[in-house]
Amino acid sequence: MLIFDVNGIIAGIQTAVPKATWTPPPGPNVGHPLIDDGEFWTLTAYFIDPSRICTGRTSEDLRTEGTGTALYIQNGTDPLKSVIHILQDEKQLVPTTQWTKGHCFYTMGDHYWYNVRADMPCNQFFPSCLLYNKGQLNAFCWALNTQLNSPRYEHPTLSVLSQFIDPVPQCFATDPDYKALSTMHVYFSSEISDLC
């Protein structure tokens, strides 16, 4: 779902999974960033500072700033207080955060996963990744531990996860609660030149 500000200008995007379809395993991601939203579990990303949504941008702002000015991943129930501001420059991301570099996947970019470890339990796998191309943020993804039937999601098999996650959490092969990975990528450009 797209999110619009008070003036009807795009402000972000959200994915919502019906609770009847999936319940995330208890763990640190429930409530941060997976939000209990009535009948759904939601993940939300903003393309502008969430504090601007209620005042809105102008059509001139949209013309000069484009779709957005930054990436913010909501990480709690209050989008004004609980967001992760994603750094645009890959060189700044690595030494200052827990985002860990996976691998470049041709036409997607260099993948980064939050605090991923080989020995982590699956309920700690952060359901989002960042993608950088030529040192700049060019996309992000949602990555949910379930088999979602929407054609908007990709379903990478266990055998290909090592092509973009490093290290691949062992729980993906051993945890009976792990069913599949459903990923959705959101790109900030229309070029298919994300060659890393």
CA distance 100 to 112: 5
State yes or no: pLDDT of 193 exceeds 90: no
| Least confidently predicted of 4-18, 20-34, 82-96, 103-117 | 20-34
Q: What is the pLDDT of residues 87-96, one digit of tens each?
A: 999 999 988 8
C-alpha closest to that of 159 among 171, 173, 144, 148: 173
Strands of 182-187's sheet in order across: 99-105, 109-114, 128-133, 136-144, 182-187
Q: What is the pLDDT of residue 87?
A: 94
Closest to 131 in 3D by CA, of 151, 107, 98:
107
pLDDT of residue 27: 83
Give 53: exposed, middle or buried? Use CB within 10 Å, 0-12, 13-18, 19+.
Answer: buried
**CA 175, chain centre distance (Å):** 22
pLDDT tens digit sequence for 138-169: 999 999 988 898 899 999 999 999 999 999 99
What pLDDT score does 179 carry?
80
Contact yes or no for 115/75 (Cβ under 8 A): no
The helix or strand, by DSSP H or E, that contains position 37, with its residue range, turns out to be strand 35-37
